[in-house]
Amino acid sequence: MPLSDLSALELFHRTIVKTVREDSPDLSARQMALLLTVYLTEPPHTVRGMAKLLNVSKPAITRALDRLTSLKLIRRKKDDDDRRNVLIQRTVRGSVFLREYGEVIVAAARDLGIDSGEADTAPRPEHSTEAVNQKPPSQPKADNNQAEPAAPDDDDKTWFTEKL
Q: Read off the pLDDT of residues 24-55 as tens digits, 9 standing for 90 and up.
A: 898 999 999 999 999 999 999 999 999 999 99
Structure confidence at residue 24 (pLDDT): 85
Residue 35: how many other CB atoms lie within 10 Å = 25
Structure confidence at residue 1 (pLDDT): 67
Half-sphere CA count of 147, side-chain side, radius 13 A: 3
What percentage of residues in the chain have a pLDDT greater than 90? Answer: 54
Structure confidence at residue 117 (pLDDT): 61
Q: Model-level pTM?
A: 0.70
Question: What band does 148 get if pLDDT is binned at 50, 70 and 90?
Answer: very low
pLDDT of 4 above 90: no
Mean pLDDT of 72-92: 91
Residue 81: how many other CB atoms lie within 10 Å = 11
In whole angstroms, give the CA distance from residue 64 to residue 45.
Answer: 14
In whole angstroms, give the CA distance from residue 3 to residue 109.
Answer: 9
pLDDT of 162 above 80: no
In whole angstroms, give the CA distance from residue 14 to residue 145.
Answer: 39
Half-sphere CA count of 83, side-chain side, radius 13 A: 0
CATH fold label, 5-116 = Arc Repressor Mutant, subunit A (1.10.10)
In whole angstroms, give the CA distance from residue 158 to residue 75.
Answer: 13
